[in-house]
Structure 1
Amino acid sequence: MCAATVATLALVASGCSGKDAKGKPAIKVGLIAPMSGAFAVLGISQQNSLQVEIDRVNAAGGVDGAKLSLVARDMALDPGKAVQAANEFAGDDQIKLIIGPSITAFYSAAKGVFEQHKKINCQPGVSTGDFSSLRYGFRSQDPAALDIQKVLGYLQQQKVKTFGLIYENDDTGKQTDAMLKAQASKYGLKYLGFQQTRTDDQSHKVYVEKLKDAEAILLSSNVGGAKTMAAAGEADYRGRLLGTGSGMQNISFVEAAGDHAQGAIFPAPNYQYPIRDRSRWEPGYRAHIEAIEKRYGKNVGPKTGASSPKGTAMAADCVFAYAAAAKTAGGTDPGKVAAALEKLAVPAAQTPSGNAIKSGPSHEFYDIGGIHLYQWNKDGQGWYTKQLDAPK
């Protein structure tokens, strides 16, 4: 019996031989994500969606005649572990696709080794940074720049004049602050500044109180944003709360803020899960989410009853797109697959996320037309989101 060392909650889905049932070497998909700690829900959700999509691709014949298998490493929000896993995967010839490391700063430290080793990589957990300069890196998340455009356009439309930002004092927070400084005046808005949070903050009330006169507060789409929402309730803040990215669809925000989450707005690619009539969902998205529910279930907030699937379909788009590009390229040669990914154009109805994929030279799977605005609401049946821009 072969042995394998498995990181916390991480799965090694291939056999120890590294070959499928027909004896052909399996194609490995590597995942580097937080599988433990405060961000564990992100890594586990990515892993679940990747496994569901890998199983779908394998049932359809695999990639280049070989089955896919998933190998996951827990980076535990430790940059050293993230870089170590990146180097490990970059040096493994059987790994043809890498997802992660999640979070901009960690990916920035790893992307050079991916380029050097010609490893196709796809990022559903990196919101800032430029992918157009990369040959092998692609993003399957809503870019922060597009999210900011959506949010500032909404504030302008609502005749809001002043706003501030509460965010972690990290690379993403600093880049978000820089974008807001550069863009605010173009929308007729006065930016009241950046309140920088710390990971060891027990409460964000002091930051909210410093922005008490702002008509709107923009908050982090990471775990700190949930603390800000809770603090807004404690401080009886009466202005608008808006997320700066799709992470605010996570029910932890509702759990932290309770009824104060009602009315909070966030930008995101397709997020049809709270729409109770599933016949309105994009077909590929519905198939993926229902497969997630069947295998892994859903997250349910113990305080609010708000629910979400235990998966993130944007991660599944990475495998979907890779399989499609490899078919076009006639194999797994990284240069040919990267070129095929640039030319890939898939309608929203077919993808696991329900978002159209058309990366082009920017290496961005989603464009501004695929970013929408959603608002948390509550009725007698529980929590749901309402799409504020024109729904399908």
Structure 2
Amino acid sequence: MKKTAVTIITLWLTLTMSAVMAIAETIKVGAILAVTGGASFLGAPEARTLQMLTEEINAQGGINGKKIELILRDSAGSPERSVSFARQLIEEQRVFAIIGPSTSGETMRIKQIAEEGKTILLSLAAAEAIVNPLARYVFKTPQNDRFAAARIFMTMNELGIEKIAVVSGNDGFGQAGRGQLEQIAPDFGIKILANEVYDSRATDLSALVTRLMSNREVEAVVNWSIVPAQAIVARNMRQAGWDVPLFQSHGFGNIRYVEVAGAAAEGIIFPAGRLLIAEVLDDEHPQKEVLLKYKNDYESRYNEPASTFGGHAYDALMILARAIEEAGTDREKVRDAIENMQGFVGTGGIFNFSPTDHNGLDIDAFAMLTVKDGKFVKYEP
């Protein structure tokens, strides 16, 4: 009887230790994404990308023999939920790093939480305020909104546009973008004649469009948002017969916005990474191979067009994987490896991080695109 009891206890301890060792052999990566809700055009492709890449990496043996354990949380775009999930992932799940959130407002709410928890945060949101001022553990993969604003104004200069109206959502991304537009417009000789903020949950913006149209000096409109209102602005402008050029932010890089806007999307001009025009890049372009592989893998698996947002998730996980491969699983060494990573070819551009730059991309990461016959194409002034 005693031998049986000892055998059972020994077996239990063996199984327990094996389970603990198996857990220790995984790298826990948290992800806070807006899989549902108004920002799901961002979060859903990001989540699918992370799931696809995690399976691919694990099937190849993981990173230095350790498999990724992806712990995904759906924030539905809520800053409050993101705060709760960030604390849970850091304090209870003890994740190695967090990817996300999807939006700038959410990221700004958890930036300090990541710092206090000494946890690497690879944000998938665009606002420059995420990495400026610098935070030791916080990085981001989307291109900076300041460069997006500059590319828009450079295109306006080419077209001879000088007087514009700016409209933006009242979320974190909209506020940050509006600030960048206001700050650098004088550098490009652009005058902002009207500057309107709308509720990001709005379903009709015709009154706003009517107010803008009353100023006959307005030569173009810039809309800065990531919500479905991007399509609503376009529809309301066209319904009113207002045919001035409409520029969107780099948050327009999902073909679903075009599908929702329908014919009103034709001619919209916006800055974006080169993922959306990967097929037409020169064969010698350093990003082409990476872009086509991700695009083909994603589209063949999910039967939907790849978007720049899923690409941001691809960049985040691959940057993290490369840093772990180089530095092991010492978090501080991995943080240092990311901060000093040079020449990483991603979907958003070629990343060159530094102790003073936790985004690693410059204005050359952007191309100007437009909508033609319901598709994204390179913009030619």
Range of TM-score over shorter length = 0.7 to 0.9
**Helix, strand or coil at the partner of 1:61:** coil
Residue in 2 aligned with 1:369?
A: 364
2:182 partner letter: K
Q: 1-side partners of 2:53 and 2:80: how far apart?
A: 29
Residue in 2 aligned with 1:34?
A: 34
Q: Within the alignment, does 1:218 sit opposite 2:222 as a pair?
A: yes
Q: 2-side partners of 1:193 and 1:217: how far apart?
A: 9
Residue in 1 aligned with 2:297?
A: 291
Contact between 1:166 and 1:228, CA under 8 Å: does it hold in 2?
no
Count of matched residue positions in the alignment of Structure 1 and Structure 2: 357
Q: 1-side partners of 2:166 and 2:360: how far apart?
A: 27
Residue in 2 aligned with 1:301?
A: none
Contact between 2:220 and 2:244, CA under 8 Å: does it hold in 1?
yes
**TM superposition shift of 1:190:** 1.0
Alignment map for 1:18-97 (pairs within 5 Å): 24-92=24-92, 94-97=94-97
Alignment map for 1:1-392 (pairs within 5 Å): 24-92=24-92, 94-132=94-132, 133-212=134-213, 213=216, 214-223=218-227, 224-245=229-250, 247-273=251-277, 275=279, 282-298=288-304, 307-308=305-306, 312-329=310-327, 331-348=328-345, 351=346, 353=347, 355-361=349-355, 362-378=357-373, 383-388=375-380
Structure 1 residues 102 and 383, CA, compared in 2 at 3 Å: closer, same or farther? closer
Contact between 1:47 and 1:311, CA under 8 Å: does it hold in 2?
no
Q: 1-side partners of 2:267 and 2:219: how far apart?
A: 14
The TM-score with structure 2 as length reference comes to 0.86
**TM superposition shift of 1:317:** 0.8
Q: Which of 55-64 and 158-167 deviates more?
A: 55-64
Provide the alpha-carbon RMSD of the alignment: 2.6
- Post-superposition CA distance 1:24-64 (Å, at most 9, x none): 43112111111222222321110111122223322343224
2:78 partner letter: D
Q: 2-side partners of 1:128 and 1:232: how far apart?
A: 29
Contact between 1:263 and 1:377, CA under 8 Å: does it hold in 2?
yes
1:103 partner letter: T
Q: 2-side partners of 1:284 and 1:78: how far apart?
A: 32
**Helix, strand or coil at the partner of 2:360:** coil
- Post-superposition CA distance 1:275-332 (Å, at most 9, x none): 479978711221112111222110xxxxxxxx55697112111111111111221x12
Structure 1 residues 387 and 211, CA, compared in 2 at 3 Å: closer, same or farther? same
**Helix, strand or coil at the partner of 1:72:** strand
**TM superposition shift of 1:241:** 0.6
- Post-superposition CA distance 1:57-100 (Å, at most 9, x none): 22343224210021111112222211100101111465112112
Q: 2-side partners of 1:182 and 1:174: how far apart?
A: 12
Q: 2-side partners of 1:166 and 1:23: how far apart?
A: 49
**Helix, strand or coil at the partner of 1:129:** helix
Q: 1-side partners of 2:186 and 2:111: how far apart?
A: 34
Structure 1 residues 369 and 383, CA, compared in 2 at 3 Å: closer, same or farther? closer
Q: Which of 216-225 and 138-147 deviates more?
A: 216-225
Q: 1-side partners of 2:369 and 2:18: how far apart?
A: 43
Residue in 1 aligned with 2:12?
A: none
Structure 1 residues 186 and 295, CA, compared in 2 at 3 Å: closer, same or farther? same
**TM superposition shift of 1:21:** 10
1:109 partner letter: R
1:148 partner letter: A
Q: 1-side partners of 2:376 and 2:104: how far apart?
A: 29
Structure 1 residues 384 and 181, CA, compared in 2 at 3 Å: closer, same or farther? closer
2:159 partner letter: Q
Name the one with the larger helix percent.
Answer: 2
**TM superposition shift of 1:260:** 2.5
In structure 1, runs of 5+ residues without a counterpart are 1-16, 299-306
The TM-score with structure 1 as length reference comes to 0.83
2:119 partner letter: K
Contact between 1:140 and 1:318, CA under 8 Å: does it hold in 2?
yes
Structure 1 residues 209 and 47, CA, compared in 2 at 3 Å: closer, same or farther? same
Bigger Rg, which one:
2
Q: 1-side partners of 2:302 and 2:267: how far apart?
A: 29
**TM superposition shift of 1:215:** 0.8
